[in-house]
Structure 1
Amino acid sequence: MKFSILILVIAFLTSCHVFGQTKKYADLPSKIDSIIENTSFNGVVLLTKDSTAIYSMATGYCDLEKKTPLTINDQFVIGSISKQITAVLILREYEKGKIGLEDKINHYLIDIKEPWSKEITIHQLLTHTHGIVALDKPLEFKPGSQFHYSQLGYELLACILEKVTAKTFKKLTTEFFSEYGLKNTFHPDYKKYKHLVKGYEESESGVLESTPNSLSNFVAAGAFISNVADLNKWNQLLYSGKLVKKETLELMKTKYATRIHPVFDTIEYGYGLLFKDGEQNLEIGAFGYAPGFVSACYFYPQTNMNLIILENTGNSLDDFKKTFKVHTEIMQLIKNQTPNNGNE
C-alpha cells in the first residue's frame, strides 16, 4: 500500500511539473501566431520543449497551383541544414579513427591533381576556410587564412566519406537515417519520399513561380529532404550526444571562423553549426536556403527547446533579412525565454 501511494505521489508531482512547464510557455503560441499573421509565410512551424510540442502549425499550400493545403508531416528541401548532417558523418568516422581532422585531403582524394590538395585539411573543408573555387583552379586564398562559404567543400567531404566507408553517399546516408529512425529524411536520389512539397520563388515581377532546380545543390551541402518531426528528432539526438560523443559535439560548437552573413550580419561558424559569438549555449543551429525553400533548425540549450521552421516560398530574395523575417522574429521570441535574457 505504501509503495502504491509513493507511486501516485511521484506521478502527481511529475504531472504538476509538466503542467507547470507547459503553463509557463502558454503565451508562446499566440505570440508566434501574431508574428506570422499578415505575412506571406507559407510553411510549417514546430516548437518543442523536452518531448512536448508547444506549437505545431501548417499554413498555406504544398502546391500553389492546385491549392493543396500543407500538412505538418510534409517534406521540404532543407538547404544548408544538410551541412550538419555531413559534418556528423565525418565526425563519426573521426571517432572510429578512420579520419583525422588535420589530415590533408590528398590522402583520400587522389584524383585531384592541383597541388593544393596536399595543403588543405578536412577541418578546413568543414569550416569553409580552404579557399577552393574549382577543382582545376588555384586557391582563392591561403588555406586557413580566410572564410568563404563553399558548397563544393562539403561535396568533397562526401567524396571522402565514400572513400573511407566504401559506400556511396546515398547508401551511407540512407543507412544512417534508418539506424536512427529518421523515417522522413532522405538523400534525394533515394526516391522513397512521398510528401515533398513544391518550392516557389518570387520573380522580378512579384509572382511566385515554381522552382524546378530545388535539388540542384550538392546533396552534402544543401539538398537533403526532411520534415519538422525528423529535424526535431535530429536535434534531440545530436545535442544529447547520441550521434557523436559529447566531446566531439563540443568540436562542432567551437568557433573556428566568422562569417559575414546575409541575415545575421556576422555569425560564428563551427562544424556545420552557426551561433553568435559566445552564444553556443544559448542558441545554436543553422538556416537553410535552396531554390524555393527557406528553413531554420535551432536548439536552445538553456530551455531545451527546439525550433524548426520550413517554408516553401522564397520572397524578397534581393534582401534575405526580409526572406527570413518570420524565422528570425520567432527565433528572437524563443531566445528571450532563456535566463540569459532576463526572463526567468
Structure 2
Amino acid sequence: MKILKKINAIFLLLFSLIIVFDVKVQAQSKVKRKIDSLINTNSDKPFNGVILVKQKEKILYENIRGLSDIQSNKKLNFNDQFVIGSISKQFTAVLILKALDEGKIRLDIPISTYLPNLKQKWADSVTIHQLLTHTHGIINLEEPLAFKAGSRYAYSQIGFDILAQILENVQHQSFSSLSNKLFEKCKMFDTFHPDIKKYKKLVNGYTENTDGKLVFETETFENYVAAGGFISSANDLAKWNEQLHNGKLLNSTTYQMMITKQPVAIRQHPLFGKTEYGYGITVSDDNELLQYGQTGFTPGFISMDFYFPATKTSVIVLDNFVWTPNDLKKAFSFHTAILQIIKESL
C-alpha cells in the first residue's frame, strides 16, 4: 500500500510538471505568433532590425528582419552592431557608481571639485547626483542654469558628457578606455565607444526624409557618446542586463541607488507618459510588474532594452530604419508593441 501511494504521488508530481511545461510552451508559442504577426504585416514603413527576448539563459524569441545596407541589399545578421542611443546612459552611470565604490567621488558635492577648470559659477552648486538624474539645469557650458540645480527635471545629454569628463579626471584614463575595460569585463565583445575603432559589424543607419524616402544618416555620431553614442548588439545587451542586475558590476548599495526612483527625476516621456528615473535608467512598477531599462534614439537608429527582474527577462529591439523621425510614437510603434506583448505574457 505504501509503495502504491508513493507511485501515485510521483505520478501526480510528473503530471503537474507536464501541465506546467505545456502551459509555458503554449504561452511562448502565443508570444511568437503575436510578434511574428506584428513585424510581418505588409507595410510601407516595415520593421527593420533585430529582436531578442531572453529569460535567464533561455531564448524565448529572436528574429531578424531587413537590411543592414540598402545600397548593396545586404541582409541583417543577428550579431550586427547598432548605435544604441540613450541606452548608453546606463554604461556611463555604472562607471560613475564604480568610481563611487572606489571612493574616488562623492555624489553630493559640487562638480567643481572634480573639474577645477570649469569656471562657470554653477560648477559650485551642481552635483554628480543632479547630473545623473537630469536635475542640474545646464543647457550649455557657456550659459547660466535654466533653473536652480536640483529644483526640477529636464532631460539632458550634456549632463552625461560632463560625467564622462569627471570620470577621465578622477580615473586618469580616457572615457573610451574606461568603457572598453567595462565591456571586456562583461565579455561584451561587440560593444564599443566609437573612438575604439574595433567595430566591424556596424550597420548603416537610415532616416526617412520629407519625401518619404530612407536616406543614409550622416549625423549619427553628433550626440555625446556618454549620453547616446555607444555601439552594441542584441546579444551584448542581454549580457549587460545579466551582469548589471545580478550583482556582478556594482556592490549592493550602489546598485540599489541606481535602480531607486529618485526624487524630482520624473519625466513626461514621449512614449510612456509619466516616467520615473534612477541613475541612467528608468524604473517602472506599473501593475506590480517591476521593469528597468531605456529606449534610445539617435539619427538613423532607434533601440529599446528593458529588463524584468522577477523573471530575469530581457526585451531588446534594435532598428536601423527611422520612419517618421518627427513623431516618436510612430517611430517606436514596433518597439512599444513588442514590449506590451511581452509584459502581457509575464
Asked if TM exceeds 0.5, the reply is yes
Equivalent residue, structure 2, for 1:259: 267
The aligned runs of 1:1-344 (5 Å cut-off) are 21-22=24-25, 24-38=27-41, 39=43, 40-256=46-262, 257-276=265-284, 282-338=290-346
Sort the Cα spacing of 1:301 and 1:112 in 2 relative to 1 into closer, same or farther, 3 A.
Answer: same
Sort the Cα spacing of 1:247 and 1:21 in 2 relative to 1 into closer, same or farther, 3 A.
Answer: farther
Q: CA RMSD in A?
A: 2.0
Distance in structure 2 (CA, Å) of the matches to 1:19 and 1:220: 45
Structure 2 letter corresponding to 1:255 = K
C-alpha deviation, 1:249, in angstroms: 1.7
C-alpha deviation, 1:303, in angstroms: 2.1
C-alpha deviation, 1:307, in angstroms: 0.6
Distance in structure 1 (CA, Å) of the matches to 2:197 and 2:287: 38
**Cα deviation per residue 1:224-255 (whole Å; 9 max; x = unaligned)?**
00000000000011111111123322211111
TM-score (normalised: structure 2)? 0.90
Figure out how many residues of one structure are paired with residues of the other and give that number.
327
Kept in 2: contact 1:22–1:54 (CA 8 A)? no
* Larger Rg computed on CA atoms: 2
Distance in structure 2 (CA, Å) of the matches to 1:279 and 1:90: 31
Kept in 2: contact 1:253–1:280 (CA 8 A)? no
Distance in structure 1 (CA, Å) of the matches to 2:283 and 2:21: 29
C-alpha deviation, 1:23, in angstroms: 5.1
Listed as ranges, the gaps of 5+ residues in structure 2 are 1-9
Distance in structure 1 (CA, Å) of the matches to 2:311 and 2:134: 30
C-alpha deviation, 1:89, in angstroms: 0.4
C-alpha deviation, 1:24, in angstroms: 4.2
When structure 1 is superposed on structure 2, of 177-186 and 35-44 the one drifting more is 35-44
Listed as ranges, the gaps of 5+ residues in structure 1 are 1-8, 339-344
Distance in structure 2 (CA, Å) of the matches to 1:112 and 1:55: 48
**Cα deviation per residue 1:183-217 (whole Å; 9 max; x = unaligned)?**
00000010000000000001011111100111111
Kept in 2: contact 1:86–1:220 (CA 8 A)? yes
Kept in 2: contact 1:281–1:301 (CA 8 A)? no
Kept in 2: contact 1:32–1:330 (CA 8 A)? yes
TM-score (normalised: structure 1)? 0.91
Kept in 1: contact 2:164–2:175 (CA 8 A)? yes
Sort the Cα spacing of 1:167 and 1:22 in 2 relative to 1 into closer, same or farther, 3 A.
Answer: farther
C-alpha deviation, 1:170, in angstroms: 1.0
The residue matched to 1:317 in structure 2 has which SS?
A: coil
